[in-house]
Amino acid sequence: MIFTMSEEHQMIQKMVRDFAKHEVEPTAKERDEEERFDRDLFTKMAELGLTGIPWPEKYGGIGSDYLAYVVAVEELSKVCASTGVTLSAHTSLACWPVYTFGTEEQKQEYLKPMARGGKIGAYGLTEPGSGSDAGGMKTTAVKNGNEYILNGTKIFITNGGIADYYIVFAALEPDKKHKGTTAFIVEKDFAGFSVGKKEKKLGIRSSPTTEIIFEDCRVPLKNRLGEEGEGFKIAMMTLDGGRNGIAAQAVGIAQGAFEAATAYAKERKQFGRPIAEQQGISFKLADMATAIEASRLLTYQAAWLESEGMPYGKASAMSKLYAGDAAMKVTTEAVQIFGGYGYTKDYPVERYMRDAKITQIYEGTQEIQRIVISRMVMQS
């Protein structure tokens, strides 16, 4: 991996950093408290090209790469993890499978408007009875003439309710378990599709998370993504890249908390000097900085491998595992450095800590990442 970012990557980093500081950060606390998604922010991201960073220009993107994409997610998450995951789910979980497995017609009809930011994407895999065991899904698809009929419920849908298009997985041949799963592109206006309850969450509160419900939902044949029976493969391959988007989110959260804690430690005085000069605090900052840098390098490496067309599944699982744990540790230490003030909503570190926890859970729990990594290690 090249450890110095190219001029293009540095330009994108600066652009997103400036945008995050001036457009996203001012309302982050308020949106968190109100559990409010701001569509205008997404539109502004689209105007900067952020909603289509890795996709070719002919599909509405800016023709950059996955490293630029994770840099953008990191910078957004440094001030607002909810905004970071909105972009991550849209890009990694909705756009990526259409770009990779979609027909040319599907790319023109669905990828292009998502890349341009006129439409928002989401991904529906998890169900009430199947989380880590994705092969145990109960949502079914039945072929009927020139369409498929979907029935079932998906939960914990990031961008749920605000998305225009959903990548959905259903059992076309339930007896075959995961080998009988098929993927579909479902539009929010399809008959039989509805949005269920909105979850009230510990963190990422301005990113809506909902149920989506299929009651004899009619999906045209042309909206099948990939071949029949390829759904599980599509779902797992999509998560490979999605995990690295979550790693980037975790790096951003940790960096934001670290910067806040460092600034506070330099100003806060106890025993006649800034607490940053106390070894107990300075050593915390040293450990936090090291964990963040290691997380960032793992994340950038996985993104670089994907951009180069090289295997990246193990690297992505490692980045998600390490960065998620590091974010939880760093944000907890940040609250500790603030002391009692850190436990109040007067400072942002309590929000960073709440937001960090989910990076250890979604798009594959830390336990699942260890399974993925151990299997790949044993196969090598």
CB of 320 closer than 8 Å to CB of 247: yes
| Angle subtended at Cα 241 by Cα 154 and Cα 1, rounded to the nearest 5 degrees | 165
Which token pair is 219? 């999906």
Residues carrying an active site annotation = 363
**Spatial CA neighbour of 41 closest among 105, 90, 96, 109:** 90
Residue 338's SS3 state is helix
